Structures are given as C-alpha cells and as structure tokens.
C-alpha cells in the first residue's frame, strides 16, 4: 500500500494572503457579495491560488490520517486519497476551479466535517483564519497584514 503522508510540509502563507483569503471566505459564508467582490478586486487573479492554499491547510490535516491505532489501514489511505482528489479538483476541475467555488467548497467542508451538529461555521472559519495568521506571523514576524 502507498504511504499517504504529506511528504513536504506546507510553507506558511504570507500574512496579507491569509487575511485576504479568509476575508473572502467569511464574506462568501455570510452571503456578503459586496465584500467578497471588493476582496476579489483588491486581490486580483491571485485569489484562486490563495484559496487553494487555504483549502490544502484545511483538508490535508483532516484527511491525512496515517494510522489506525498505530498501524496503517485502508481507511487512512482512502481519506488521504480523497483529500488529494478534492484539492486536485479545486486546482484543475472546470466546475470547481473558480474562486467562488473554492470558497464554497471550503465552507461546505467546514460545515460538514469540522463543525459539530448545529455548530457555528463562521466561528470555525474565524478559528481557522486565526490559526493561519498565527502561523504566517511566526514565519514572517516583520510582516504585518494590510488587509
């Protein structure tokens, strides 16, 4: 069976990139199209890449379980493969490749996988954004976000 670990750790995002990506995701989750459009306009074509970077940071830790009670099992390989497939679709799939669809996929993943029953999706997205910003600031301590 193939190993399913992520072979290279994800490099921390820049603080401005984290701020822009999560501002867009939170605006989409709140159905605030005006704010989402403003963020998209400010960020430009780079927004899609930023959202895919966020998706990788959300999906991979959840789907890349390496073992079951210390031993690799079929389930762990399957979840890792599904996580990689979802990221591949977000990068190259025609129907999911737009920034709006990547953000919606992150929101749906958060709603269906990361929140408890009747959980607050907006709160989980805020927590994810805060964690991403903390990692970015630790990696780039002299950089302060402008967004």
84-112, pLDDT tens digit by residue?
667 666 666 556 567 888 888 888 888 87
Choice between 19 and 146, residue whose per-residue pLDDT is larger: 19
Measure the CA angle with vertex 11, ends 10 and 16; round to 5°. 120
Average pLDDT over residues 136-143: 80
Neighbour count for residue 65 (Cβ, 10 Å): 18
Rounded Cα–Cα distance for residues 93 and 95 (Å): 6
Neighbour count for residue 146 (Cβ, 10 Å): 9
Are 27 and 50 in contact by the 8 Å Cβ rule? The answer is no
**pLDDT exceeding 90 applies to what percent of the chain?**
27
CA dihedral of 135, 51, 18, 125, whole degrees rounded to 10: -80
Phi (first) and psi of residue 68, to 5 degrees: -120, 110
């Amino acid at each position: 069976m193939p190993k399913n670990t992520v072979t290279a750790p994800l490099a921390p995002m820049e603080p401005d990139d984290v701020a822009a990506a999560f501002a867009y995701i939170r605006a989409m989750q709140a159905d605030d199209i005006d704010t989402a459009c403003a963020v998209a306009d400010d960020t430009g074509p780079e927004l899609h890449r930023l959202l895919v970077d966020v998706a990788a940071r959300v999906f991979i830790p959840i789907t890349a379980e390496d073992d079951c009670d210390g031993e690799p099992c079929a389930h762990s390989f399957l979840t890792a493969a599904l996580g990689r497939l979802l990221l591949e679709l977000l990068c190259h799939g025609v129907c999911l490749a737009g920034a709006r669809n990547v953000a919606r996929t992150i929101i749906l993943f958060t709603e269906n996988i990361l929140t408890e029953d009747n959980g607050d999706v907006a709160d989980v997205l805020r927590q994810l954004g805060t964690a991403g910003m903390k990692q970015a600031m630790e990696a780039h301590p002299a950089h302060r976000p402008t967004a």
